[in-house]
């Protein structure tokens, strides 16, 4: 598909406008001097954990339990993520550590 320069510019402007709208809309809807609604406060508290749980389920949904290596790399990496997060409380460290261990296991140990 070929776009003319005008079409390309319009597409870039539309994406930029959409991005700016999603960045500024929360500040316009909930200014600092006003308390946000209880529903928004509640969702801000529970959604991060719910989304992490959803991502864990999504990542592990196709892991073969009955074929070798019987989900051992995934289980070890998941355990390391839990231990690192409990120990340091750093999401970045937990994800990086679990990913590094998983990649090492599937490329060097269980290859």
In whole angstroms, what is the distance from residue 36 CA to residue 29 CA? Answer: 9
Residue with more model confidence, 12 or 30: 12
Check pLDDT > 90 for residue 103.
yes
**Averaged over 6-11, what is the pLDDT?**
97
Check pLDDT > 90 for residue 111.
no
**Averaged over 32-58, what is the pLDDT?**
92
- Burial profile 12-29: b = 16 or more Cβ within 10 angstroms, e = fewer: eeeeeeeeeeeeeeeeee
Q: Which DSSP category does 67 fall into?
A: S
Distance, C-alpha 51 to centroid of its chain: 8
Check pLDDT > 90 for residue 20.
yes
Check pLDDT > 90 for residue 86.
yes
Tens digit of each residue's pLDDT (9 = 90 or more) over 48-69: 999 989 999 999 999 988 988 9
């Amino acid at each position: 598909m070929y776009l003319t320069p005008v079409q390309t510019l319009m597409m870039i402007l539309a994406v930029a406008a959409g991005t700016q709208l999603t960045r500024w809309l929360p500040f316009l809807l909930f200014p600092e001097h006003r308390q946000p609604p209880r529903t928004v406060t509640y969702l801000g508290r529970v959604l991060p954990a719910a989304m992490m749980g959803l991502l864990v389920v999504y990542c592990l949904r196709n892991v073969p339990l009955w074929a070798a290596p019987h989900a051992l790399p995934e289980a070890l990496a998941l355990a390391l993520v839990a231990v690192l997060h409990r120990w340091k409380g750093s999401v970045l460290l937990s994800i990086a550590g679990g990913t590094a261990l998983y990649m090492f296991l599937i490329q060097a140990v269980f290859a």
